[in-house]
């Protein structure tokens, strides 16, 4: 069984990967308090059917042969090193599962010796888990770029989800900050995982269905100079090309203050939060990256991206809720996808008023500035005052969403959802 010292090193080293939903939290325990969200080890993720599962989040090894500037596990960093054998990880998963600590595994690794060697060990681990330990829980495996495609294909037949991190928003930044990696080496396995032939040929190579929970990726934000527009265009391209389930955005954490290529300070978490909101608009609301960002290529900090777009395009408003197409209703701040469809259903039967909208859970304090209902307008007619009201609401809502206070610093939690 793995000893406690190595377990701490390997779980702590994995905590910077945000591809699990709870990983963004940095709330620490306080004297007399209970729990510590900043500590590595267990994280949460959502399965394809929407269930939230707790996962053991661990690296097989943090002994990295690569030297990515932004990474705590980089070769040149003087940190305690450890690795575990596939058997040790399997024992740990089985023990934790039996004790009801976890429902699944998030397994990643630094590149120990070579990509192929590391991928072989990861594959060995998941095969043992499925075949010897008969473990049927959720497994999310981080793939190793440049590893042999056959190893990746076999792994895909044993795990629920796999991800290759795109890491940085441009090839130029990748070359500068992660010189041993290349865009091609990262994109190639993503393309393979999304190809029907690759999936088909994987049949018989493993235990079950090929990647039932699909693939995701992660991008570091704020370590390099790309704009939000560049980041969102890249995400849009990845969603379109590889049918990704999610792109995760990870605000850069200054773990390497000596580097002359990196910002001295960690990136603003509000930027990460706005990118998640914008990503939601790309995937579900029919927006394009070009529409969402400002002229300078960045997202507004003051308002959420949908509200910011609406404020910049008041020529489209107000819209009459009884006649506007659904594609326009979902662009109204305060009307989400579900509300838009509820409105469309309800107006077939009756002419909707503001009271009806209230019952449909439309966020009227926001939406009222952008709609009429049965010809009536209850919003603020003065544009300047309306913007102030919206900004105040945004500040109050953000305050409610604040996950914690750290010293004098107020940090914002990463949330996603209908906006
Ligand atoms: S490959 Fe780069 S990002 Fe991954 S563990 Fe090694 S140094 Fe860190």
Give the pLDDT confidence of 229-265 residue by residue, as tens digits. Answer: 999 999 999 999 999 999 999 999 998 888 999 999 9
Structure confidence at residue 28 as a pLDDT band (50, 70, 90): low
pLDDT digits (tens, 9 = 90+) for 307-364: 999 999 999 999 999 999 999 999 999 999 999 999 999 999 999 999 999 999 899 9
pLDDT of residue 181: 95
CA of 230 to the centre of ligand 1 (A): 23
52: which residues sit within 8 A by CB, 6+ positions away? Answer: 21, 44, 45, 46
pLDDT of residue 15: 79
Is the C-beta atom of 282 inside 6 A of ligand 1?
no
pLDDT at 23 over 80: no
| Mean pLDDT, rounded, for 192-208 | 77
**How big is the chain, counted in residues?**
419
Name the class of domain 4-267. Answer: alpha beta
pLDDT of residue 118: 98
Please tell me the residue having the least CA distance from ligand 1 atom 2: 68
Is the C-beta atom of 101 inside 6 A of ligand 1?
no
pLDDT of residue 20: 53
Calpha distance 387→158 (Å, rounded): 52
Is the C-beta atom of 110 inside 6 A of ligand 1?
yes
Test site for ligand 1: of 58, 63, 73, most ligand atoms within 8 A of the Cβ: 73
50 dihedral zone (left: phi>0; alpha: psi -120 to 50; beta): left
CA of 110 to the centre of ligand 1 (A): 5
pLDDT of residue 408: 37
pLDDT of residue 29: 56
Is the C-beta atom of 68 inside 6 A of ligand 1?
yes
CA of 61 to the centre of ligand 1 (A): 11
Least confidently predicted of 51-55, 106-110, 277-281: 51-55
Q: In terms of pLDDT, which residue wins out, 216 or 41? A: 216
Calpha distance 85→122 (Å, rounded): 9
- In sign, the C-alpha dihedral spanning 18, 19, 24, 26 is negative
pLDDT digits (tens, 9 = 90+) for 34-93: 555 455 567 777 665 667 788 999 999 999 999 999 999 999 999 999 999 999 999 999
pLDDT of residue 119: 98
The atom of ligand 1 lying closest to the CA of 73 is 8
Structure confidence at residue 404 as a pLDDT band (50, 70, 90): very low
CA of 68 to the centre of ligand 1 (A): 6
Structure confidence at residue 413 as a pLDDT band (50, 70, 90): very low
Share of the chain above pLDDT 90, in %: 77
Residue 95 token pair: 């023990």
pLDDT digits (tens, 9 = 90+) for 370-397: 999 999 999 999 999 999 999 998 887 7
pLDDT at 26 over 70: no
Mean pLDDT score across all residues of the chain: 88
Is the C-beta atom of 74 inside 6 A of ligand 1?
yes
Test site for ligand 1: of 71, 118, 144, 178, most ligand atoms within 8 A of the Cβ: 71
Structure confidence at residue 290 as a pLDDT band (50, 70, 90): very high
Please tell me the residue having the least CA distance from ligand 1 atom 5: 110
Buried-state track 9-40, b at ≥16 Cβ within 10 A, e below 16 = bbbbbbbbbbbbbbbbbbbeeeeeeeeebeeb
For residues 178 and 34, is the Cβ–Cβ distance under 8 A?
Answer: no
Structure confidence at residue 196 as a pLDDT band (50, 70, 90): confident
- As separate numbers, helices (DSSP H) first and strands (DSSP E) second, the chain gives 16, 11
Please tell me the residue having the least CA distance from ligand 1 atom 4: 110
pLDDT of residue 385: 96
Share of the chain above pLDDT 70, in %: 85
List strand residue ranges (DSSP E) for 12-160, in order.
Answer: 42-46, 52-59, 104-108, 138-142
Domain with CATH 3.20.20.70 in the chain: 4-267
Calpha distance 135→55 (Å, rounded): 13
Partnered with residue 405 across adjacent β-strands are: 410
């Amino acid at each position: 069984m793995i000893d406690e010292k190595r377990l701490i090193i390997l779980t702590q080293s994995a905590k910077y990967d945000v591809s699990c939903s709870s990983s963004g939290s940095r709330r620490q325990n306080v004297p007399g308090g209970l729990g510590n969200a900043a500590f590595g080890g267990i994280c949460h993720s959502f399965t394809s059917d929407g269930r939230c599962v707790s996962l053991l989040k661990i690296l097989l090894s943090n002994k990295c042969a690569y030297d990515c500037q932004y990474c705590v596990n980089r070769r040149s960093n003087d940190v305690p090193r450890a690795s575990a054998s596939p058997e040790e990880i399997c024992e740990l998963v089985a023990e934790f599962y039996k004790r009801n600590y976890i429902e699944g595994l998030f397994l990643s690794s630094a590149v120990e010796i070579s990509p192929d060697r590391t991928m072989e060990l990861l594959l060995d681990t998941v095969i043992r888990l499925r075949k010897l330990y008969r473990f049927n829980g959720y497994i999310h495996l981080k793939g190793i770029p440049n590893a042999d495609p056959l190893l990746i294909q076999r792994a895909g037949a044993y795990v629920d989800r796999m991800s290759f991190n795109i890491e940085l928003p441009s090839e130029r930044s990748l070359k500068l900050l992660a010189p041993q990696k290349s865009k091609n080496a990262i994109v190639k396995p993503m393309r393979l995982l999304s190809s029907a032939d690759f999936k088909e040929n994987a049949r018989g190579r493993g235990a079950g269905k090929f990647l039932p929970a699909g693939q995701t990726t992660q991008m570091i934000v704020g370590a390099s100079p790309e704009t939000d527009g560049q980041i969102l265009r890249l995400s849009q391209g990845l969603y379109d090309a590889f049918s990704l389930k999610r792109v995760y955005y990870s605000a850069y954490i200054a773990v390497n203050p000596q580097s002359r290529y990196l910002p001295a300070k960690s990136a603003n978490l509000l930027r990460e939060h706005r990118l998640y909101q914008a990503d939601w608009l790309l995937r579900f609301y029919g927006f394009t990256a070009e529409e969402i960002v400002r002229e300078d290529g960045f997202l507004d900090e003051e308002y959420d991206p949908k509200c910011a777009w609406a404020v910049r395009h008041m020529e489209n408003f107000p819209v009459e809720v009884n006649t506007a197409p659904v594609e326009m209703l979902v662009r109204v701040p305060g009307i989400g996808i579900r509300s838009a469809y509820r409105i469309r259903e309800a107006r077939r039967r009756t002419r909707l008023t503001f009271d009806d909208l209230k019952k449909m859970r439309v966020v009227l304090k926001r939406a009222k500035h952008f709609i009429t209902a049965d010809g009536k307008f209850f919003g603020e007619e003065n544009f300047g005052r309306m913007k102030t009201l919206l900004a105040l609401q945004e500040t109050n809502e953000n305050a409610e969403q604040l996950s914690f206070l750290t010293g004098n610093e107020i940090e914002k939690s990463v949330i996603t959802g209908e906006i």
